[in-house]
């Protein structure tokens, strides 16, 4: 057992249980909560989720969670956003209107353009939206979250919107889907994964374990 307790934020989004099971699989204890006071007192926080940015923020506000998250982050608590949870870390999204995010990492979330072409220059192929399936990670910086992750390792993605950080230094890894986009981000004690680690086999579990152990 890793002897670490992960506080996972339940704000009504889907896919939370599968993320919970992935952390439990690597030996972490998971406390699932929508209580702001539990979030404020957490040692490590995870914000998972699948769905739309606007409804995700609405779920957080309905439970009075944004202020609690901000306080925990300011206290230095390690914080991991997964999939839509990563997108919610940013200032705003234009998914179905303009919605304000948590503002923990500066930048915005926007949709992949419709005219994306394959990065493979030997073929001419339009890329489908959403970006769905296996794609490669290209680490940009050494960071404890990506210990043991090599350039070209694969992770599993399902998303139509991508994060565009204001500072390139916030990008820990890029992934190419017609153009390079930020697939792993970090700023101080806040980090995010655009892909689904619970569906990314050994690489995904390794990254979750890195978060738990650091």
- Return the pLDDT at 122: 52
The three-class DSSP label of residue 206 is helix
The answer to whether 87 and 94 are in contact (CB under 8 A) is no
- Return the pLDDT at 168: 95
DSSP string for residues in 64-111: T-HHHHHHHHHTT--EEEETHHHHTTEEEE-TTS-EE---SEEEEEEE
The answer to whether 100 and 57 are in contact (CB under 8 A) is yes
For 169-203, the pLDDT digits (tens) are: 999 999 999 999 999 999 999 999 999 999 999 99
pTM, two decimal places: 0.94
Residues labelled catalytic: 83, 196, 198
Bond prior to 178 in cis (omega within 30° of 0) = no
- Return the pLDDT at 125: 73
pLDDT per residue rounded down to tens, the chain (214 residues): 466 899 999 998 777 899 999 999 999 999 999 999 999 999 999 999 888 999 999 999 999 999 999 999 999 999 999 999 999 999 999 999 999 999 999 999 999 998 887 766 555 578 999 999 999 999 999 999 999 999 999 999 999 999 999 999 999 999 999 999 999 999 999 999 999 999 999 999 999 999 999 8
Q: How far is CA 42 from the centre of its chain?
A: 19
- CA R_g for the chain: 16
**What CATH number does domain 5-213 carry, 3.40.50.2300, 3.30.465.10, 3.40.50.880, 3.40.190.10?**
3.40.50.880
């Amino acid at each position: 057992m890793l002897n670490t307790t992960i506080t996972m934020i339940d704000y009504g989004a889907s896919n939370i249980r599968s993320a919970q099971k992935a952390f439990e699989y690597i030996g972490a204890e998971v406390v699932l909560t929508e209580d702001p006071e539990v979030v404020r007192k957490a040692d490590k926080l995870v914000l998972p989720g699948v769905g739309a940015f606007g409804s995700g923020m609405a779920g957080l506000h309905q439970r009075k969670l944004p202020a609690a998250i901000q306080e925990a982050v300011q206290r230095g608590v390690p914080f991991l956003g997964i999939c839509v949870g990563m997108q919610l870390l940013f200032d705003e999204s234009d998914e179905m209107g303009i919605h304000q995010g948590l503002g923990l990492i500066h930048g915005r979330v926007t949709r992949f353009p419709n005219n994306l072409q394959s990065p493979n220059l030997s073929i001419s192929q339009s890329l489908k939206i959403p970006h769905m399936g296996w794609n490669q990670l290209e680490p940009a910086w050494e960071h404890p979250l990506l210990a043991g992750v090599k350039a070209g390792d694969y992770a599993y993605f399902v998303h139509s919107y991508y994060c565009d950080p204001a500072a390139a230094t916030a990008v820990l890894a890029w992934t190419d889907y017609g153009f390079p986009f930020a697939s792993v981000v970090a700023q101080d004690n806040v980090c995010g994964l655009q892909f689904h680690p619970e569906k990314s086999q050994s690489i995904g579990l390794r990254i979750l374990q890195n978060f738990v152990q650091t």
